[in-house]
Structure 1
């Protein structure tokens, strides 16, 4: 690898390795997280943010530095969580702007790119606070501009020295850090990113680099729990949202509105995306304001008081530091978009696709788009549920973050997935983190909406038993139905017991299938010709969702039929107003049984 210049392949590999470094240290970063509030989630937020960047870059083959930098910035915005994730995304956005369309950079040019990225961050923040991640950014920009060298390996070795010096000084800049004897968690996370880059460029990415200066040894292992939530933090909910639209307002306009309702503001506007982070007591008002500008692709409001209480309980019991009351697991039949999964920190357990002798994990080894290409080529894979071992791993990861785990799973009447999860939960029964299994009696976005509901209630501090009870109540008045363009795959799967009666000799008949209250898939109607599918689906929906429903949200999924998303969403909004609608391509597991051309509607009535 020629390290006298940095190209797209080099930046891609460096950022992917950085994600590994941050993930390796996420628990440590959570423990020392005391600023701006001691909610113990900086490590998780930063790991999820850069993890979303790495996932996007792994699917890219771009060689141009400018193209990779722009892809990283966009992925960062979509996946940004928490203050640290938002600031990192701003940094990457400034870096992409500075690089432009250049295919590669030499060391002599890189200093100015770092300077531009750092200045972009400072200008974007409402109140830049020294002693945080931005201090490290400024320190390395200064050092890069000062150095005169032609090799990126040497450059990053020197930048690491300067970054660690700046990190060691963060307690002198922030009294909250000095009081607890820790460095800033976000700043330390940014140093881990630099470590990953340096390790990758040196050609030895797995070597354990020199530890950063330690301020977080005993007895301050649980610094996040020991710190006072603080009189300075007057707001309760860490609120985030991603909006997509063609006529989004400028950052300053949104920031001015939010300033009257909260603090810890970070706003990012890039193209058709607007990402917001704010601490507020009025999350629903924030969401309502943002809905006026476009589609609310993801949003969450996390009770920081509940998070801090979890940390205090963990510290008192000398247990592993959890960062939230409830951690949610679901399987990949849920059809939730990645941006929602990441926004809420859900843990996905993949189902399996079997192509002859090859087994691929859904959403890990194969994406929905890749699967559609296989369908168009005539592939007919079979499916299988996750193994108990896969659920064991999912539960383990979830237990690292939550006091309790709730798993919202594919209908037990459709798959052995729930039984596999039961076996895994029994094997973990003696652990300190209880696992609650919920049979969604559904699939696709019905299951996804229920998993999302579980995440939202957990973020508000609900007890697990109450969350499960609420899911059961909501499920009784919610549902999912789908129209198939062909019923060949549904018949082949054996999941439509009465479907054969519809074959006959009629031409161009499209069956409409419903998931009933027991979780079984049953035929409920039929339509002749694809042009009549949408009117029939809306007719069914109007019968199922009460006119009096005041709190309802929807999901629309498709299998190789994206042209149906906007018309269906438009008709739903004509009838129920500006409601939340999640849209997604059906995951390969759903697509295998529904077949090409299918689309379905999920509804969640929460009154």
Structure 2
């Protein structure tokens, strides 16, 4: 490999892919009852079913950015090994992690390792939307592309990764300031399920409201039908879920039956994003020829 790739725990990638591509992960943090936890620790598995069970029981979860001491440990080690680095970071509109960590890396590289090359790209993506872009970057590296080529591709093509979400519990959007208390209350009474997407500026934007869980899953399928690149059957479709694997499988089944798509990566949503979207979140990611 002619360069190393760093990303964040928010990319939601399983350990098998992290190991396959030799990725370096900056972990964000979350807090339950004033106890701090890392969203990702190598070779340690977070019990996500237990995490979401605590949320369903009313436990308040708060989150924080990746730590600079961890950033320093990873980037300094790679520079000391003579490695150049590409950092593919969490959507800067949704989190301050990219700005914080990229600024630190750039200052370190300029001040102490000027002979090394560092490129930092804001993916404008979250969860497996970020992960999907990271995997494609890894494949390009394996195919022999240079650091600059992969970084420029990521900056140019990041908006071709479509990101669509629905949530089951409106209270989490209300807590995050994305929904008023009155709207959350009324929506809950009427069984309203919002459909949201990440737009071209990395903002989480509500697009549609439907009544009932199944209709919200079908709404995500409709977005795939309308927006996914052709041939749809050859897409690798990524689905993140907040401890609701059956619903993720149901959505995958709709896509498989509708278009013959067979390649899916389905993963439980990691705690930091899950803390803000709540149990029952379903997020769908795919390639598109249309701008977000």
TM over 0.5: yes
Alignment match, 1:369: 49
Shift in Å, 1:575: 3.5
SS at match of 2:83: strand
Higher helix share: 1
SS at match of 1:522: strand
Structure 1 spans left out of the alignment, 5+ residues: 1-323
- In 2: Cα distance, 1:467 partner to 1:550 partner: 26
SS at match of 2:131: helix
Shift in Å, 1:590: 1.4
Alignment match, 1:511: 194
User: Do the aligned partners of 2:4 and 2:86 also contact (CA within 8 Å) in 1?
Assistant: yes
In the TM superposition, what are the counterparts of 1:325-336 in structure 2 within 5 Å? 325-336=2-13
In the TM superposition, what are the counterparts of 1:330-479 in structure 2 within 5 Å? 330-364=7-41, 366-399=46-79, 403-425=83-105, 426-429=107-110, 430-431=112-113, 432-479=115-162
Shift in Å, 1:368: 2.5
- Distance verdict in 2 for CA 1:395–1:577, change over 3 Å: farther
Higher strand share: 2
Shift in Å, 1:552: 3.3
- In 1: Cα distance, 2:252 partner to 2:79 partner: 37
- Distance verdict in 2 for CA 1:539–1:501, change over 3 Å: farther
Q: Normalised by the size of structure 1, how large is the TM-score?
A: 0.44
- In 2: Cα distance, 1:398 partner to 1:367 partner: 30
- Distance verdict in 2 for CA 1:531–1:458, change over 3 Å: same
Please give the per-residue CA displacement for 1:493-547, whole angstroms capped at 9, x wherever unaligned.
23x2x56684362421111111111111110111111122221111122222145
User: Do the aligned partners of 2:133 and 2:161 also contact (CA within 8 Å) in 1?
Assistant: no
User: Do the aligned partners of 1:328 and 1:398 also contact (CA within 8 Å) in 2?
Assistant: no
Alignment match, 1:535: 218
Shift in Å, 1:566: 2.0
Shift in Å, 1:370: 3.6
- Distance verdict in 2 for CA 1:548–1:580, change over 3 Å: closer
Shift in Å, 1:402: 7.0
In the TM superposition, what are the counterparts of 1:67-82 in structure 2 within 5 Å? none
- In 2: Cα distance, 1:602 partner to 1:547 partner: 15
How much is the aligned-residue C-alpha RMSD, in angstroms?
2.4
Shift in Å, 1:404: 1.8
- Distance verdict in 2 for CA 1:473–1:580, change over 3 Å: farther
- In 1: Cα distance, 2:34 partner to 2:54 partner: 15
- Distance verdict in 2 for CA 1:392–1:509, change over 3 Å: same
Please give the per-residue CA displacement for 1:199-230, whole angstroms capped at 9, x wherever unaligned.
xxxxxxxxxxxxxxxxxxxxxxxxxxxxxxxx
- In 1: Cα distance, 2:224 partner to 2:31 partner: 34
Structure 2 spans left out of the alignment, 5+ residues: none
Shift in Å, 1:344: 0.8
- In 2: Cα distance, 1:452 partner to 1:602 partner: 13
User: Do the aligned partners of 1:347 and 1:397 also contact (CA within 8 Å) in 2?
Assistant: no
User: Do the aligned partners of 1:410 and 1:443 also contact (CA within 8 Å) in 2?
Assistant: yes
Size of the aligned set, in residue pairs, is 282
- Distance verdict in 2 for CA 1:500–1:386, change over 3 Å: same
User: Do the aligned partners of 2:164 and 2:285 also contact (CA within 8 Å) in 1?
Assistant: yes
- In 1: Cα distance, 2:173 partner to 2:273 partner: 10
- Distance verdict in 2 for CA 1:485–1:371, change over 3 Å: same
| 591-600 or 524-533, larger mean C-alpha shift | 524-533
User: Do the aligned partners of 2:39 and 2:272 also contact (CA within 8 Å) in 1?
Assistant: yes
User: Do the aligned partners of 2:92 and 2:122 also contact (CA within 8 Å) in 1?
Assistant: yes
User: Do the aligned partners of 1:327 and 1:455 also contact (CA within 8 Å) in 2?
Assistant: no
Please give the per-residue CA displacement for 1:61-110, whole angstroms capped at 9, x wherever unaligned.
xxxxxxxxxxxxxxxxxxxxxxxxxxxxxxxxxxxxxxxxxxxxxxxxxx
- Distance verdict in 2 for CA 1:500–1:576, change over 3 Å: farther
Please give the per-residue CA displacement for 1:457-494, whole angstroms capped at 9, x wherever unaligned.
11222111110121223322222111100121122123
In the TM superposition, what are the counterparts of 1:33-112 in structure 2 within 5 Å? none
1:574 aligns with 2:254: no
| 547-556 or 528-537, larger mean C-alpha shift | 547-556
- Distance verdict in 2 for CA 1:550–1:597, change over 3 Å: closer
- In 1: Cα distance, 2:3 partner to 2:182 partner: 45
- In 2: Cα distance, 1:606 partner to 1:527 partner: 26
SS at match of 2:248: helix
User: Do the aligned partners of 1:514 and 1:524 also contact (CA within 8 Å) in 2?
Assistant: yes
